[in-house]
Amino acid sequence: MPKLKTLSGHDVLKIFAKFGFEKVDQEGSHVKIRRQLLAGGRQSLTIPLHDEIDKGTLKAIFRQALRYIPEDDLHPHFYYE
């Protein structure tokens, strides 16, 4: 079973920037990111800007992002091979 990487909030923001997400709002240590679709829809995620994101939180972010990004594209950024 692949092992989850240790990532900071800034690491996660950089990963999602590669998929077209941009920072739209920040409240405290949580950043809302969004990407606009050509068809007019919007896709949003909230990322905590912690030095090290808890493994359970990281898994939840990964699962939520799977609604928007294919697992084959996202998996290498979150898991060791």
DSSP 43-78: EEEEEE--SS--HHHHHHHHHHHTTTS-HHHHHHHH
Query: Is 58 inside any structural domain?
Result: yes
- Total domain count for the chain? 1
The residue range of the domain holding 44 is 9-70
pLDDT of residue 40: 85
Query: Is 77 inside any structural domain?
Result: no
Q: Is the pLDDT confidence value at 12 over 90? A: yes
pLDDT of residue 1: 72
Please state the pTM of the whole predicted model: 0.93
- Contact call for residues 23 and 31 (beta carbons, < 8 A): yes
pLDDT in tens, 21-77: 999 999 999 999 999 988 889 999 999 999 999 999 999 999 999 999 999 999 999
Query: Is 78 inside any structural domain?
Result: no
